[in-house]
């Protein structure tokens, strides 16, 4: 990869975080703190933790901080539940100036009492925010006292917004989950052909789609982290014989801890696109080394591919000559998107992530064509500049990137937690192609000057 020339980047310190794939071999700098003043597109630590934990459906999610932090994620997520809807509420201690001066611990204890009395939940997550980190409320002590008082689990999530980046929030969420699933003195009985599915948040029912594929293969999902999960199901997590990880950025840490603590092996998978879905199902089947599972898996891949492959490939002609830009949260999704765009005949000309790791950027570098811009922890100015320079017709991103795309007059696809349609599995590959078509080939772009 060739680094962008110094004079060509708006902020000097960002030079090593942006590269163009070319002749020169140079490693992109990633997984570092955002540079102050760069207006990073990254979300904060609290947001990272909230993304991971919010889909636990029967938990109270209490945000200890000013009301603004709670509104940030208030009921805007696409995670679906097959049971409790408690998670759709966002509770806040609504800290004010007086609490900042005198401390918010009493207010927090009182909020937990009221919520437990009203909702009878067995599990409460209490999220720390920036101001709590500043004033130094002892979350651990308040949660411990509340847990003893009510005889339930009250788990602090150490997610003050300024203590790192979104990836630190993932880790804080995983630490909270580890506290929940540790069996204590309980005996753990392993269940055969039973796996945990990590890093799927059941957006538009995606975890249900994958669960159904696995059932057809003869494999049962013990619990999903954390899409459509519940308190009692999460407690049984140590019983699984394998962990599969979709969103590596948020869940690799939890999987490695579960390997260490409960001896559960793990493999990374991706159910985005036809190629990665089929490959992931085969790798799960390989783990079990069972001829019946292998036969069922091949049958599933054959029948599903036959059903959707022609539909997906039918779009290639319509997309001839189109170019895509990608800016998403994690590296695994970026890697799958390159392959998925290839399946429908679109070249990715700019690609970046908020929290991608070194090994993921190495894979991205292998997959993209020469001349592709690869950037980590970007800001809107950089996205605008490289999308324009590379002539992208489409941007894939999240809620923060949508206005940027529309202002530039290019098509947009939401691949974030607020979307309402599934993009996973074979059915998701068809949805993806259809969505690319409806946005990219919309007549509206004729009227953009
Ligand atoms: S935790 Fe801090 S950075 Fe995050 S939303 Fe709240 S105030 Fe903003």
User: What is the per-residue pLDDT across 46-88, written as a single tens digit (0 to 9) for each?
Assistant: 999 999 999 999 999 999 999 999 875 556 688 999 999 999 9
Structure tokens at 357: 């790791």
Q: Which of 3-12, 54-63, 117-126, 414-423 has the lowest mean pLDDT?
A: 3-12
Q: How confident is the model at residue 399 (pLDDT cuts 50, 70, 90)?
A: confident
Q: What is the mean pLDDT of the segment spanning 312-321? A: 94
CA distance linking residue 331 with residue 353, whole number of Å: 6
Contact 137, 103 (CB under 8 A): yes
Residue 159 Cα to ligand 1 midpoint, Å, equals: 9
Considering only CA atoms, which residue is closest to atom 3 of ligand 1?
161
Residue 136 Cα to ligand 1 midpoint, Å, equals: 15
162/128: higher pLDDT: 128
Is residue 3 left, alpha or beta, with left meaning phi > 0 and alpha meaning psi from -120 to 50? beta
pLDDT at position 311 over 90: yes
* pLDDT score recorded for residue 3: 52
pLDDT at position 215 over 70: yes
Is residue 241 left, alpha or beta, with left meaning phi > 0 and alpha meaning psi from -120 to 50? alpha
Cβ of 46 less than 6 Å from ligand 1: yes
* pLDDT score recorded for residue 368: 96
Q: Which of 300-309, 379-388, 440-449 has the lowest mean pLDDT?
A: 440-449
Closest CA to 115 of 150, 148, 83: 150
Residue 107 Cα to ligand 1 midpoint, Å, equals: 19
Mutate which of 39, 47, 100 for ligand 1? The one with the most ligand atoms within 8 Å of its CB, which is 47
Strand 323-328 to 373-376 pairing: unpaired
* pLDDT score recorded for residue 183: 80
Ligand 1 atom closest to residue 72's alpha carbon, by position in its atom list: 5
pLDDT at position 322 over 80: yes
Considering only CA atoms, which residue is closest to atom 5 of ligand 1?
69
Structure tokens at 262: 């409960």
Residue 73 Cα to ligand 1 midpoint, Å, equals: 11
Residues 6+ apart with CB under 8 A from 88: 75, 81
Domain boundaries, the chain: 45-181, 194-310, 319-447
Q: How confident is the model at residue 5 (pLDDT cuts 50, 70, 90)?
A: low
CA distance linking residue 185 with residue 166, whole number of Å: 33
Cβ of 49 less than 6 Å from ligand 1: no
Residue 6 Cα to ligand 1 midpoint, Å, equals: 32
Q: What is the mean pLDDT of the segment spanning 225-248? A: 97
Mutate which of 36, 63, 69, 76 for ligand 1? The one with the most ligand atoms within 8 Å of its CB, which is 69
Q: What is the mean pLDDT of the segment spanning 137-141? A: 97
Mutate which of 90, 130, 139, 160 for ligand 1? The one with the most ligand atoms within 8 Å of its CB, which is 130
Residues 6+ apart with CB under 8 A from 200: 206, 207, 210, 224, 225, 227, 246, 247, 424
CATH fold group of domain 194-310: Rossmann fold (3.40.50)
Cβ of 161 less than 6 Å from ligand 1: yes
Q: What is the mean pLDDT of the segment spanning 254-271? A: 97
Burial class (CB in 10 A: 0-12, 13-18, 19+), 356: buried
Residue matched to tokens 């954390």: 226
* pLDDT score recorded for residue 161: 80
Q: How confident is the model at residue 6 (pLDDT cuts 50, 70, 90)?
A: very low
* pLDDT score recorded for residue 23: 56
Cβ of 213 less than 6 Å from ligand 1: no
pLDDT at position 435 over 80: yes
Q: What is the mean pLDDT of the segment spanning 205-234? A: 98
Residue 105 Cα to ligand 1 midpoint, Å, equals: 19
pLDDT at position 424 over 90: yes
CA distance linking residue 402 with residue 57, whole number of Å: 28
Share of the chain above pLDDT 70, in %: 96
Cβ of 72 less than 6 Å from ligand 1: yes
* pLDDT score recorded for residue 237: 97
pLDDT at position 299 over 50: yes
Closest CA to 414 of 386, 385, 392, 436: 436
Contact 29, 400 (CB under 8 A): no
Residue 160 Cα to ligand 1 midpoint, Å, equals: 7
Cα dihedral 180, 183, 188, 192 in deg (nearest 10): 10
Residues 6+ apart with CB under 8 A from 294: 285, 286
Cβ of 69 less than 6 Å from ligand 1: yes
Considering only CA atoms, which residue is closest to atom 6 of ligand 1?
69
322/26: higher pLDDT: 322
Entry pTM: 0.93
Residue 214's SS3 state is helix
Q: What is the mean pLDDT of the segment spanning 101-115? A: 97
pLDDT at position 8 over 60: no
Residue 322 Cα to ligand 1 midpoint, Å, equals: 38
Q: Which of 15-24, 120-129, 214-223 has the lowest mean pLDDT?
A: 15-24
pLDDT at position 149 over 90: yes
Residue 377 Cα to ligand 1 midpoint, Å, equals: 18
Pick the CATH number of 319-447 from 3.40.50.1110, 3.40.50.720, 3.40.50.1980, 3.40.50.20: 3.40.50.1980
Residue 253: how many CA atoms within 13 Å on its side-chain side? 16
Cβ of 129 less than 6 Å from ligand 1: yes
Residue 68 Cα to ligand 1 midpoint, Å, equals: 8
CATH fold group of domain 45-181: Rossmann fold (3.40.50)
Q: What is the mean pLDDT of the segment spanning 364-386? A: 95
Q: What is the mean pLDDT of the segment spanning 26-54? A: 89
Residue 66 Cα to ligand 1 midpoint, Å, equals: 9
Q: Which of 4-13, 283-292, 398-407 has the lowest mean pLDDT?
A: 4-13
Considering only CA atoms, which residue is closest to atom 4 of ligand 1?
161
Residue 261 Cα to ligand 1 midpoint, Å, equals: 32
* pLDDT score recorded for residue 73: 58
Cβ of 315 less than 6 Å from ligand 1: no
Q: Fold match between 45-181 and 194-310? A: yes
């Amino acid at each position: 990869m060739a680094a962008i020339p110094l004079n060509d980047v708006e902020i000097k310190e960002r030079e090593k975080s942006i590269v163009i794939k070319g002749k020169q071999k140079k490693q992109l700098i990633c997984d570092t703190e955002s540079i102050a003043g760069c207006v990073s597109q990254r979300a904060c630590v609290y947001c990272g933790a909230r993304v991971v934990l919010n889909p636990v459906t029967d938990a109270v999610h209490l945000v200890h901080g000013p009301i603004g932090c709670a509104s940030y994620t208030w009921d805007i997520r696409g995670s679906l539940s097959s049971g409790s809807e408690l998670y759709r509420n966002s509770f806040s201690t609504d800290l004010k100036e007086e609490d900042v001066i005198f401390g918010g611990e009493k207010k927090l204890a009182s909020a937990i009492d009221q919520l437990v009395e009203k909702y009878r939940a067995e599990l409460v997550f209490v999220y720390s925010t920036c101001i709590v980190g500043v004033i130094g409320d002892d979350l651990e002590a308040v949660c411990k006292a509340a847990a003893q008082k009510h005889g339930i689990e009250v788990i602090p999530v150490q997610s003050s917004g300024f203590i790192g980046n979104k990836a630190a929030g993932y880790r804080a969420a995983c630490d909270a989950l580890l506290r929940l699933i540790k069996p204590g003195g309980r005996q753990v009985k392993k269940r055969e052909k039973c796996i945990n599915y990590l890093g799927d948040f059941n957006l538009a029912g995606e975890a249900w789609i994958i669960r159904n594929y696995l059932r057809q293969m003869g494999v049962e999902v013990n619990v999903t982290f954390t899409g459509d999960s519940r308190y009692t199901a999460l407690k049984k997590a140590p019983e699984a014989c394998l962990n599969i990880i979709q969103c590596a950025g948020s869940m690799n840490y939890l999987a490695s801890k579960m390997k260490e603590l409960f001896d559960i092996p793990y493999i990374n998978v991706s159910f985005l696109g036809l190629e990665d879905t089929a490959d992931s199902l085969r790798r799960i089947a390989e783990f079990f080394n069972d001829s019946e599972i292998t036969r069922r898996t091949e049958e599933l891949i054959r029948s599903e591919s036959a059903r959707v492959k022609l539909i997906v490939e039918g779009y290639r002609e319509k997309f001839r000559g189109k170019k895509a830009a990608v800016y998403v949260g994690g590296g695994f999704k970026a890697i799958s998107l390159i392959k998925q765009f290839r399946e429908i005949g679109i070249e990715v000309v700019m690609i970046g992530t908020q929290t991608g790791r070194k090994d993921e950027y190495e894979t991205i570098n292998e997959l993209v064509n020469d001349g592709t811009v690869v950037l980590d922890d970007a800001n809107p100015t950089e996205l605008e500049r490289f999308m324009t320079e590379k002539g992208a017709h489409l941007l894939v991103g999240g809620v923060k990137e949508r206005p940027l795309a529309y202002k530039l007059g290019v098509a947009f696809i939401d691949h974030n937690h607020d979307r309402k349609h599934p993009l996973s599995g074979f059915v998701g590959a068809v949805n993806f192609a259809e969505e690319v078509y409806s946005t990219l080939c919309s007549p509206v772009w004729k009227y953009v000057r």
